[in-house]
Amino acid sequence: MGDSEGFSSAVRPETKVKRRTYDGLFKARVVREWINGRRSLNELAERYDVHPNQIKNWKALLLKGASQVLEDRRHSRGRQPRRGAGGVNGRCGVWQ
């Protein structure tokens, strides 16, 4: 080590690499291509210059939040959602 601070002259500790950020549309497009089988995980990672683990994480977040996206908001105002498609007595297809 010729440098008194312990860093080589080629590495500057004050130089920081800024993290890249991606919007939701980009993440959704990449994950959709993977889910639909259009490209493999490695092909997508190479094409969009992201790490394969990042794509896996986006997919996990998408699947985790899918129940919120698909929630039926018509019945969410303090009432319990109905189970089944019945009439007054709850039997399917029978109205009384």
Q: Where are the alpha helices (DSSP H) in 13-80?
A: 24-35, 41-48, 52-69
Q: Which two tokens stand for residue 92?
A: 């399917």
Question: Average of pLDDT values for 44-57?
Answer: 96
Q: Residues for the chain: how many in total?
A: 96
Cα-Cα-Cα-Cα dihedral sign, residues 21, 33, 61, 70: positive
Question: Average of pLDDT values for 17-41?
Answer: 94
Give the whole-angstrom CA distance, residue 60 versus residue 45.
Answer: 16
**N-terminal to C-terminal alpha carbon distance within the chain:** 89
Give the other-Cβ count within 10 Å of 76's Cβ.
9
| DSSP 8-state code for residue 75 | G
Per-residue model confidence as pLDDT tens digits over 65-79: 988 888 888 876 665
- pLDDT recorded at residue 2: 52
Query: For 2-11, 20-29, 49-58, 64-73, which range has the lowest pLDDT when averaged over its residues?
Result: 2-11
* Residue 92 bridge partners (DSSP): 86
Give residue 95's pLDDT band: very low, low, confident or very high (50, 70, 90): low
Question: Average of pLDDT values for 24-40?
Answer: 95
Give the whole-angstrom CA distance, residue 75 versus residue 89.
Answer: 18
- pLDDT recorded at residue 96: 46
